[in-house]
Structure 1
Amino acid sequence: MENTRIYKMSFAGVYPHYIAKAEKKGRTKEEVHQIIFWLTGYNEESFQKILDDKTNFEDFFNNAPKMNPNASKITGVICGYRVEEIEDKLMQKIRYLDKMIDELAKGKSMDKILRQ
């Protein structure tokens, strides 16, 4: 994986794709936010600042208020990689989010997505 390019990408540049993927399958922006906030500990206000500042993925995850301790329960394949086997911790966090958005788009219940 070419990690450094992904790390430097603006989260705000990818965020609309997360929303579009969810909405295309009948899910909502609010559900995407619920996933992001659950995973990272951000709230509406701090997340809006991330978008306004065009924060990159590296800073988005490294400065997250609190990564959810249940994130390690996220398993499966995304982009050809098993998320639980990704050794680069930052890339693993990015793929956790990708996996959860994918599960949302596939119609999984929020309880299952949020590992409750």
Structure 2
Amino acid sequence: MAGLLGVGLSGTASADGMPRPGAQGAAAGPVTGRATFVCRGGVRVQVTLMTGAARVAFAGQTRTLSLVEGSTYRNSQVTWFTQDAGTAAMKNNLTGRLQLSGCRSV
């Protein structure tokens, strides 16, 4: 796995970042890895990495994000990225605030 997130996801996303049912896009390739994280507050996050994308699922929500660089994935609403000391976080792109933080692979 590359960094904390080394897997991508097949499919495309609607404008809100949610996957479109049955949509298969060229932007994401086959699954290359999966990881489970536990973030501050005990929030469990499932990350599925694909070539060029990641699907991040937590608290009944699923976001499909495009690879930006390294282990940073983004859509119009959120960015999932690796922080110092091997932790990951999700930032709300509109407010700049961390939505999930202190996420550690389990």
1 or 2, which has the higher strand percentage?
Answer: 2
* TM value normalised by structure 1: 0.26
* TM value normalised by structure 2: 0.27
1 or 2, which has the higher helix percentage?
Answer: 1
**Bigger relative contact order, structure 1 or 2 (CA pairs below 8 A, ≥6 apart):** 1
